[in-house]
Chains A and B, each alone.
Chain A
């Protein structure tokens, strides 16, 4: 049973560029959440997708956007990258309205 997968593993971008991160949820899961984990910090909630719609959103600017596809996979897009966007981006999947999240290995984004 495949767990949550994310791609790419690592990414280096320049300030002002745009980036797209991808996530495939655990088999059978229909809800995807994205978290940002800065170095030395706990993960911070970005947003959650269910039925291809954003259900809830954390305190992140509109530069952060997402999408969920009919097969439940998801993308996180970040526009106009800032140095402060450098972090580990974690995708987590779950069943809708269930408390347990299953996390992927993350994508390490470095903005130079």
Chain B
């Protein structure tokens, strides 16, 4: 089975500072990778995804992530944090295999991002 490790359950940054949220996965083959954001009392919103194209993926709200196969990592970054970025962020992985396994996501435990004014 796939697994995802998010390093740091809480990350705090100042408004305008770089945001870096770490994600490492374990998989025998390069999987599909995702970042989701969850605001309080809401469901999950897809920020970005890596499926097979460019290793640097750009998402919504100025976020991007880079797939590094050698490091089995998919870290999420944003050059300048905004107060509205405060939320919980989840990294997830899905099998590449065709057929019934697609759509099953394995999530990390999440990283709570706090942005200070």
* A81 lies within 8 A of chain B by Cβ: no
Which residues of chain B are within 8 angstroms of A40 by Cβ–Cβ distance? Answer: 109-110
Given contacts A41-B109, A99-B51, A100-B49, contact A33 B44 (CB under 8 A): no
Task: Give the bracket for the number of chain A residues in contact with chain B.
Answer: 20 to 34
The answer to whether A105 and B43 have CB atoms under 8 Å apart is yes
CB of B90 within 8 Å of the partner chain: yes
Instruction: Answer whether residue B103 sits at the interface, using C-beta atoms and an 8 A cutoff.
Output: yes
Say whether B107 contacts A43, CB under 8 Å. Answer: yes
Chain A contacts for B90, CB-based, 8 A: 42-43
Query: Which chain A residues numbered 42 to 94 have a C-beta less than 8 Å away from chain B?
Result: 42-45, 48, 55-56, 58, 90, 92, 94
User: B interface, how many residues as a size bin?
Assistant: 20 to 34
Chain B residues contacting A102 (CB-CB under 8 Å) are 46
**A96–B94 Cα gap in the complex (Å)?**
14
CB of B12 within 8 A of chain A? no
> Does B100 make an interface contact (CB < 8 A)?
yes
Residue on A nearest B4 in the bound complex, by CB: A42
Residues of B within 8 A of A33 (CB): 103-104
Kindly list the 3 A-B residue pairs having the minimum CB-CB distance in the complex, ordered from nearest.
A42-B107, A103-B43, A103-B44
